[in-house]
Amino acid sequence: MTLVAVLLIMAAVRVWNHRGPARAQPYTGPLAAALLVAVSGRVPPLTGWGYALGAAGAMTAGYGIVLLVPAGRRALAARSYDHPVRKALIGVPLSTVVFEEVAFRGVLWALIADGHGVVWATAITAVLFGIWHLPDRGEVAFTTLAGVLLSLLRAASGGIIAPFVLHWTANGLGILASAWVRRSGRADSGDTDKS
């Protein structure tokens, strides 16, 4: 019954994310995450700081490499964000990452792992995470793989800090890198075939 309640809350949040006012989203994420914890009785462990630092370092290095490649800079420049610093540092963690990590790698993952083990918890939450992103971009395969990686990080680290940090840096650094490329005009620099 708890699992059904958690899934219903998650579905309600997803509908609200698409139908509710954008200005409410930074409040919705943390409040809905707290509701999931209260309803499930599962407090996600805030452990895995070493893994979190490693994840942040790997993501930063990854974006550094992407910025060295003209095709990577062009891909980053293709997206534009209003108020990128505010979005990366406030909007992404509060509107997106807090809720998704508590929901998928905190509460839901723990409920499934307790009943069916880590493999099932990883598989089910990864598929649901992929489906969760379907209305936005249709990138179900990519976000499912991301869900697998985040769940494996959850299992290895023993908590949700490492997946939270990886998720935040992946999204937040992407926004900041995009803004830097667009502002600096370096999307095509270093490319020999300019048109």
Predicted confidence (pLDDT) per residue in 74-122, tens digit: 999 988 899 999 999 999 999 999 999 999 999 999 999 999 999 999 9
Average pLDDT over residues 157-185: 95
Global model pTM greater than 0.75: yes
pLDDT confidence of residue 192: 39
* Mean model confidence pLDDT for the chain: 92
Q: Which pLDDT value is given to residue 195?
A: 35
DSSP code for 88? I
Between the CA of residue 171 and those of 160, 165, 178, what are the distances in Å? 17, 10, 11
**Residues shown for the chain:** 195
Amino acid 185: pLDDT: 81
Give the N- to C-terminal CA distance of the chain in Å, as an integer.
60
CA distance 176 to 174: 6
Q: What percent of the chain has pLDDT over 90?
A: 83
Compute the distance between CA of residue 101 and CA of residue 118 in angstroms, rounded to an integer: 16
pLDDT category at 14 given cuts 50, 70, 90 is: very high
- pLDDT tens for each residue of 52-77: 999 999 999 999 999 999 999 999 99
CB atoms within 10 A of CB 34: 13
Instruction: Give the residue, 169 or 185, on which the prediction is more confident.
Output: 169
User: What is the structure's pLDDT at 79?
Assistant: 85
